[in-house]
Amino acid sequence: MLDRILEPEVMDDAAEAAAYDAMDHAEANTAFVDRLVELGIGRCATALDLGTGPGDIPVLLCGQTDTPHITAVDLAQSMLDLAGTRVREAQLSDRITLAKMDVKALDLPHASFDAVFSNTILHHIPEPEAMLREAARVLRPGGLLLIRDLYRPTSTEQLGQLVDQHTSGCDDEQRRLFAESLHAALTADELRALADTCGLEDAEVVVDTDRHMSLQRSID
pLDDT at 1: 79
Q: What is the pLDDT of residue 9?
A: 84
**What's the mean per-residue pLDDT of the chain?**
94
With a cut of 80, say whether residue 54 has pLDDT above it. yes
Length of the chain, in residues? 220
User: pLDDT-based confidence at 78, cuts 50/70/90?
Assistant: very high
Please state, for a pLDDT cut of 90, what percent of the chain lies above it: 84
Kindly tell me if the per-residue pLDDT of 213 is higher than 90: yes
79-136: pLDDT as tens digits: 999 999 999 999 999 999 999 999 999 999 999 999 999 999 999 999 999 999 999 9
Dihedral class, residue 111 (left if φ above 0, else alpha if ψ from -120 to 50, else beta): left
Average pLDDT over residues 45-54: 96
pLDDT band at 195 (very low <50, low <70, confident <90, very high): very high
What is the pLDDT, as a whole number, of residue 21?
66
Using CA atoms, how far residue 62 sits from 70, 73, 220, in Å, is 9, 16, 21
Query: What digits encode the pLDDT tens for the residues 8-29?
Result: 888 767 776 676 767 767 889 9
The pLDDT, as a whole number, for residue 212 is 97
Mean pLDDT is lowest, of 23-27, 180-184, 212-216, for 23-27
- Domains of the chain, with CATH numbers? 14-217 (3.40.50.150)
Residue 205, C-beta contacts closer than 8 angstroms, at least 6 positions apart: 188, 191, 192, 195, 213, 214, 215
Whether the per-residue pLDDT at 188 is higher than 90: the answer is: yes
Q: pLDDT (tens digit, 9 = 90+) per residue, 127-161?
A: 999 999 999 999 999 999 999 999 999 999 999 99
pLDDT of residue 10: 80
Pairing of strands 212-217, 139-150: antiparallel
**pTM of structure:** 0.93
Confidence grade of residue 45 (pLDDT, cut at 50, 70, 90) = very high
